Structure formats: structure tokens, C-alpha cells
Amino acid sequence: MSRRDRERRGRAGAPGQGKVRRGPRRFTISMQKRLVVLFLIVAAAFLVLAFRLILIQRDNGRSYTMQVLSQQAYDNKSLPYKRGKITDSKGTVLADSQLVYNVIIDASQMLEEEEYLEPSLNAVTRLGIDKEEIRAYVTEHPGSQYYIAKKNLPFQDKRAFEKENQEGAQAEREAQQKAVEKARRQGKPDSEAEKVELVYSNIRGIWFEDNYIRNYPCGTLAADVIGFTVGNNRGSFGLEEFYDETLNGVPGRTYGYLDASLNMEQTTIEPTDGNNLVLTLDANIQSICEKYLKEFNEELKDHKHKGNGSNNAACIVMDVNTGGILAMASEPGFDLNDPYDIKKVAGMPKLNDEDAITTNYLTEAEAEALSDKDRSRYLNALWNNFCISSHFEPGSTAKPFTTAAGLESGKLKTTDTFLCTGYLDVDGTAMKCAHLEGDGMLDVAGAIERSCNVSLMQEAFKIGPEVFCKYQNAFNFGLKTNIDLAGEARTDDYLYAAEDMKNVDLASNSFGQNFEATMIQMAAGYCSLINGGYYYQPHIVERITSASGSTVQTNSPRILKKTISEETSDLIREYCILAVEGDHATGKLARPAGYRIGGKTGTAETHPRKLNQWVVSFLGFAPAEDPQICIYVVLDRINNKKQDEAGRACIVARKIMTELLPYMNIYMTEPLTDEERLELEELGLYDTNERN
């Protein structure tokens, strides 16, 4: 057999024999290298991908999460809380939150069946909603399940709507049942019964969401004390701002979603309502104060010029022995239920570019024409609480403080006397007394009775600037009293330091000029003058209660310091009684019929002096024997040719006390004149038959 035949046979194989088997192929070095390179490439790709995923999670994770959640059947709804109410000391509600409703449209339900749309659109018109607007929205957003069509629907409107729907649907069911019964009597099957047009039964996709709006039942009463709320329960001014976190609660929330098994899961966290404020303020006392401030305003409105009866008229009534505010009123006021009423700023002084008042006054037409920016400026001026936010030179109401400082420091004796010739030369400046003819020789008591500037200047020189400034600080002039109201002003920039005080400054400060204070500073300091020397922190909230009514916090009276001794306080009371009852008293017009009181008048010229404008006031206490209340009336730039008439402030104070003292069960101790009886009879405070 040749070699070629053997090779051919070898390739073909012998009959019945398989192919020749070969050994395993070798895994070469080259192949191993290629495999390692491929592995490294794949590993590197995974590392790059992982790094990219980390970056996406860091930078866009929240965005992608929200996109995923938005594609799920998911419901997350906030549940509103009820803001706490504000009541006076007797339980009168001054601020509350009223339950109202948002009208919600569910477009997907309205479009679920063709016969639902028109009845539902017709139904919204009964809620005061434009039918075509809802049709347009539903058409453009067929998958929407939540659209607020109307806010703050009153409860009675919601109830009337639901009642009509229930009664209408019931009537339709009954009509349909009658049609079926009729068909049966005629031997027809139920399916051939006459069909009743379904109007109420086909209403879909309209539901109501609870909401609360702030409501002020007493309208204008204590407006600048209470303040109001703006968007989303945020307090603005007064108590609403100061106690914003206390009054606000915590919203609840419902969570609903479809789980992996398409089962609806829902969780509800109930809202927590806000706490309530119970005030020291008495709504009846507040009403009395506001009544007579308004009366004064109406009496002098448009008198000398077009405008209010004064730039500001205000009154504080304070409990002498606790620091509690019984009333805090000012005029002009505003309605808490409509604080943006621009007509209320008419009659106020015009403001310059720095928001300082001018000598011109805003007419109603000018008020209506104000730009948005100017409206905001004037409304803020209206909303400010004059009693705590404005400062002025107090005038002669500061004289008892000067005398108290002298007596307490030992620089003055009750037997000291001073000669008043009508003026005093102070470093070349002739500083005048109110009585240009002079008051003659006066002792310390007589200086207060006659309100003698010259005597007080001489007292101040005996006291000296260091002691004088020390007691100004002791009575808290210049500093906030920290009353629990938003917007209290500091006045330290308007006081002298002892080292900077010249003789002219000391002299003018002694009778209440050339330094400034707020009403609340004066009232709180004066209470310490006549209650034995105890300086109480002024406060207007007596206690805080929970939504269920339990007491959360009590604001007990806080004595911050002792300003003067009992002996000095007794003397100051005597001098202030003399300033009302004495033969030469300046405060006679303040005494209410049947009562003894004490007090001091004030007349202070405003800056710039050349304008001849004045702030007049009366700062007093009642009853004389056992002081219970402090009353402070301030009239800022009276709308009258003659402004420096402290008697007008006395008259307002007397009218307030004439009603206030009987209301507080403080009984008369003094005999009445015929004229006083007639006055009380006209007020309904004296019954002739009962007294006889």
C-alpha cells in the first residue's frame, strides 16, 4: 500500500471505526492575557457606572424620588389645626378661629361616567362657583384629583348644599322605585321601568376640606392690642405676633398610597390645636375707654384743620398692685376683621419720606389714591400701638418722679422751700414757669400741687445729675418694660447720661421736657410711686390654657425691683391727691363725682418748638385711700387752636373713671353736688328713688 493510500485510509478510517480523537487544546499565555484585559475593562465599566450612580443620587436623588412618587397612586394631605383663641379676663372672646371649608374638585371622578359631568357642573353654581371655569379646568386636567375651586366657604353654605343633595338624591331614588313598582303592576320587567332623570344622584367629584379663618367677634375692640393674622396663620402686631408660636398648633397629615399588592394603605396624624390666651384685660373697661376716646375724637374732628380730633388719643388702665393691664386703648382705631381698610387712615398726619409725621393731614380722597407702597406705610402707622410704640416728652407728669428721687435719696426734705418769680436763670437761659406771674414761696407739696417748673428745677439742682439719672434708670425710663406685646419701643437714645447732662438739661428734665418716654414706661413707673415702691412688670396675659381648657402657664405678678420706700410712696400719694383736690390744683377736672383720687397733669411742647404743638396728659390713681388702678390719658396734638390744655385730658379721664369705678365695685365716699347727681343720672349711674 502506497503512502498516499495509507493517508487516505487514515483520514477515512476503517469500516465500523469512528474519527480519530485529538487531545485537548492548550490555554495559551496569549489567551490568558486577553481574558485579563477583558476582565479589567468590564470591572472598570462597573466602577464608572457605580460612581455615576452615586453622583446621581447625591445631586438628583430627591428629584427622581419625587418623579417616581408622582407616578404612584399616592395621597398626602395636610390637616389644619385650630389657632388658639384670645379671651378677656371674664371670658369674652376677642379672637377665635372659625371653621370654614375649601371646595375641592376631583376631575377624574366627574369624568368617570359621561352622565356625571353636567349634574356636577350645575351643582358647583350653587356654591357660587363659575360653572364654565370648572368645565375648562376639568377638560384640561382630566386626571386631576385635587383643585381648590373656592376657599373659606361658611359652614351654613356647606350644610345647605349637602342637605339639598341628600334630599334630591333621596327623591330620585323614591321616584325610580315608584317607576319600577308601576312597571311590575303592568307586568313588565324591571328593566323596562321608566327611567328617572338623575340630577342629584349623579353629582360626583365635589368635596369639602376643613379650614380655619381668624375671626374677631368684637371688631374694633382692643384692635392694636390684639393684632391680627396674615397668610398661613402668621401673627402680625400685638398679642397675635408676640404669642404667635403659643397660639399656633401643629398641622396633622394623612398619608395614603397603593402598596406593591395594590392595596390602599392610609395613616393619619391628627393635628394639635394651639393654646389659648386669657388676658388681664377686661372688655368692659376697654369699651369704656374706647367710648370716651372716640367721643373726644368726634368732638374735635375737623375743628382747626381737616383731620382727626388729635394725632393720637390713648388711655392705659393698669392694676396698681399686679402690673396687669385692664385696658389699653387708642384712637384712631381699625377693624380687626378688615385691617386693610384704607379709609381708616384718612385724617391722620401725612408722612414724609422718612415716615415722620408732618403738619398736613390726609383726606379720604388722598387715602384712596395712595400707591401700594404708601398704603403700606400709612397702614403700619395705623396698626402701631401708640401706648407702647410711640414716645414723647411726658411734661409735668414727670414731676412726682423728680420729687420722689429727691426725697428717697435724702437730697430733699419735705420742709424745703423754693421761691418762684415766674422764671429761673439757668446759665444765661431764662426758663419760664407756667405761671408767668410766679407762684411765690412753695414747699415740696405745693410745687406738685401748682405744678411749678421753677420749684422743680431748684429741686433737681439739689438732687444733682448723678442721682437724678440713677432714679430715671430705677423707674425704667429709657428701657423696655418687656410687656408681652409686639412692638414696644426703647427710649434710651432720648435720655442723658449724667456726665453729658448740663444744667439746662437737668432743669428741663426735672419737669418732663427734653427726654422722652412711652406711655407704658410712665404708667408702670407711676404705679411703683403710689403702691409702696414696688415695680411690677406690666403684663396683659394672665394665663395660657390648652385647647382642652387646662392651664399650661400662669403669669403671676412679678416684682422686678423696689424703686422707693413706703414712706416716700405715702408722701407722693399725698402730693398727687393735693394736685387734684388742692385750692391751686391743676387736676381738678379729673375728679369723678363721689370719689377722691390723686394724679398729675402734663403739658409738653413737641419738637420743633417753633410749631407750638403740645402733648397733654393726666396720670392718676383711684381711689385715693387705697389705690387700685392707675389711669393714664394722653392727647397728642389736639385739633384745636389752643393745644396746651391739660384739662381736656382730665375730662376724658374723669368720664372714664365715672363709669369704671362703679363697675369695679369701688364705692363712692364723697357727697354729691346737684350738678354731679344730674351728670350721673344722664349716664344711668344714679337712681334718685333708690338713693332716697
Domain ranges of the chain: 100-213
- Main-chain phi, psi angles of 328, to 5 degrees: -150, 105
Task: Provide the whole-model pTM.
Answer: 0.83
List, in sequence order, every residue forming a beta bridge with 265; answer none if it has no partner. Answer: 257
What confidence score (pLDDT) does residue 421 get?
A: 94
Q: How many CB atoms lie within 10 A of CB 84?
A: 23
Q: What span, in angstroms and rounded, lies between the C-alpha atoms of 337 and 384?
A: 16
List, in sequence order, every residue forming a beta bridge with 331; answer none if it has no partner. Answer: 313
Q: Which CA distances in Å does 269 have to 209, 250, 272, 547?
A: 16, 10, 9, 17
Q: What span, in angstroms and rounded, lies between the C-alpha atoms of 602 and 620?
A: 11
Q: How many CB atoms lie within 10 A of CB 376?
A: 12
Task: Residue 487: name the closest of 394, 557, 631, 386 by CA.
Answer: 386
Beta carbons of 209 and 199 less than 8 angstroms apart: no
**Edge-to-edge strand ranges of the sheet holding 629-638:** 325-331, 310-319, 629-638, 614-622, 598-605
Task: Residue 143: name the closest of 113, 105, 110, 107 by CA.
Answer: 107
Cα 126 → chain centroid: 36
What confidence score (pLDDT) does residue 299 get?
A: 95
Q: How many helices (H) and strands (E) does the chain have?
A: 23, 27
List, in sequence order, every residue forming a beta bridge with 104; answer none if it has no partner. Answer: 148, 207
Burial 85-116 (b: 16+ CB within 10 A, else e): bbbbbeebebbbbeebbbbbbbbebbbeeeeb
Q: What span, in angstroms and rounded, lies between the C-alpha atoms of 112 and 133?
A: 19
Q: What span, in angstroms and rounded, lies between the C-alpha atoms of 549 and 630?
A: 31
Ramachandran assignment for 127, one of left (phi > 0), alpha (psi -120 to 50 degrees), beta (any other): alpha
What confidence score (pLDDT) does residue 688 get?
A: 52
What confidence score (pLDDT) does residue 61 get?
A: 62
Q: How many CB atoms lie within 10 A of CB 175?
A: 14
Task: Residue 351: name the closest of 330, 379, 389 by CA.
Answer: 379
Give the per-residue SS3 of 191-255: HHCCCCCCCCCCCCCEEEEEEEEEECCCCCCCHHHHCEEECCCEEECHHHHHCHHHHCCECEEEE
Is the dihedral angle over the CA atoms 397, 301, 311, 289 positive or is it negative? positive
Q: What span, in angstroms and rounded, lies between the C-alpha atoms of 513 and 395?
A: 6
What confidence score (pLDDT) does residue 16 get?
A: 45
Q: Which residues of the chain have pLDDT under 70?
A: 1-27, 57, 59-76, 256-265, 687-692
